[in-house]
Structure 1
Amino acid sequence: MGLSFSVPKGINIPPSLKNIYKELDRDPEISGFKEPDHGCLEKWSKDGVLLLNATLTVEAHKPNSHASFGWQKFTDHVIKTVSDCGSSSVFVLWGGFAHKKEKLIDKSKHKVIKTAHPSPLSFNKFKGCGCFSECNKYLKEIGQTPIDWSL
């Protein structure tokens, strides 16, 4: 679909996305979130959320199988361009690999939130991170509309 974690309606919700939903449901600052019966995140993208993996393709059931295809040069450029050219934004970096992308972001201009990855392997560290409410809090502070995380 071109959006990290997102799958078309009718496809089983991936485990990491289920964990994202659990965190949204658990966060007391995110009102009205109800876990959807689908994994399509297109609404978020229309609200200004860019969901980006460092590597944009992968062979089915083979994590990192396309890591050497050059995708990271491209996605690093995307991150740097958004940081350099975009207005004040929030970058949410999930997991150790994403945390390394912080160096591409102008932190004097943007908010960076780093948490564990929502994967089942690290969910206990992701659970309770509050990254969605922290994102919305910052957006309100800078006079922008917070994200409606409902789907």
Structure 2
Amino acid sequence: MPLDLSRLGPWASLPFFAQDLPRIESALAAEETPVYPPPARIFAALERTPPDAVRVLILGQDPYHTPGKADGLAFSIPADFGGKLDSLGNIFKELQSDLGPARQRTDLADWADQGILLLNTALTVPQGRPQGHKSLGWQRLVHQVLDRLDDRPRALVLWGKPAQKLGQRMQNPEHLRIETAHPSPLSAYRGFFGSRPFSRVNAWLQANGERAINWADQE
């Protein structure tokens, strides 16, 4: 069944959707194991944050490969998941250290609604096979998204070497770039903790006449 593109808004004009998506849809249909996130959530990041609304870009890797954990927004986890938070838990630790408030809400839709594009660099993953769709072709979409966002200054939060390498596509000298280790439990102690990305983004936004992000829990 073709993926629903009706909610993509301006993103739907990217060449990827006509040129590359049909082949990816065929590959997903042939996948023998469950694929995450669910089909209706694959483009959730783009649906939630249209290009002109993007003030901050946070690049993830691929979705969580555990049942019920991926919701289409990078690092976000549905409220009813109930399992380990892994990278998101470390993000929340750094948030509390940086700004003070403790965040309990694991669904990051409120961040997306404030202009944070939470984009994974692969939009799908097979169950139990991290990076199993790394070469499926999603990177062509990510390249086009990044090129589209290079038109004006934005805050780029690039955690880990893969995100930093992709971020090199964006050449606007006015971007804020925050590049640190990934918040994964395997690497967070190599420079993610103590990097204060949340206050740095807010300071940059306010210096440019924009409202700060409310990173804490919202109803």
TM-score normalised to the size of structure 2? 0.63
Q: Distance in 1 between matches of 2:172 and 2:149?
A: 12
The question of 1:11 aligning with 2:78 is answered: no
The question of 1:104 aligning with 2:172 is answered: no
TM superposition outliers: structure 1 runs of 4+ over 3 Å: none
Question: Identity of counterpart residues, as a percentage?
Answer: 39
Q: Structure 1, residues 95-121: CA drift from partner, whole Å, max 9, x if none? A: 000010222113323111111100000
The question of 1:73 aligning with 2:140 is answered: yes
Q: How does 1:1-151 map to 2 (within 5 A)?
A: 1-12=71-82, 14-27=85-98, 30-31=99-100, 33-36=101-104, 38-84=105-151, 87-125=152-190, 126-151=192-217
The aligned amino acid for 2:85 is: P
Larger Rg: 2
Q: Distance in 2 between matches of 1:89 and 1:147?
A: 13
- Corresponding residue SS for 1:78: helix
Partner of 2:20: none
Q: Distance in 2 between matches of 1:82 and 1:2?
A: 19
1:141 Cα deviation from its structure 2 partner: 1.0
The aligned amino acid for 1:75 is: V
* 5+ long unaligned stretches in structure 1: none
- The number of equivalent residue pairs is 145
TM-score normalised to the size of structure 1? 0.90
Q: Distance in 2 between matches of 1:8 and 1:102?
A: 27
The aligned amino acid for 2:78 is: P
Which has the higher relative contact order, 1 or 2, with Cα contacts under 8 A spaced 6 or more apart?
1
The answer as to whether partners of 1:115 and 1:131 remain within 8 angstroms in 2 is no
Q: Structure 1, residues 4-49: CA drift from partner, whole Å, max 9, x if none? A: 011211113521000000000011xx24x2230x410000001111
Q: Distance in 1 between matches of 2:121 and 2:161?
A: 12
- Corresponding residue SS for 1:50: strand
Partner of 2:19: none
Q: Distance in 2 between matches of 1:144 and 1:105?
A: 21
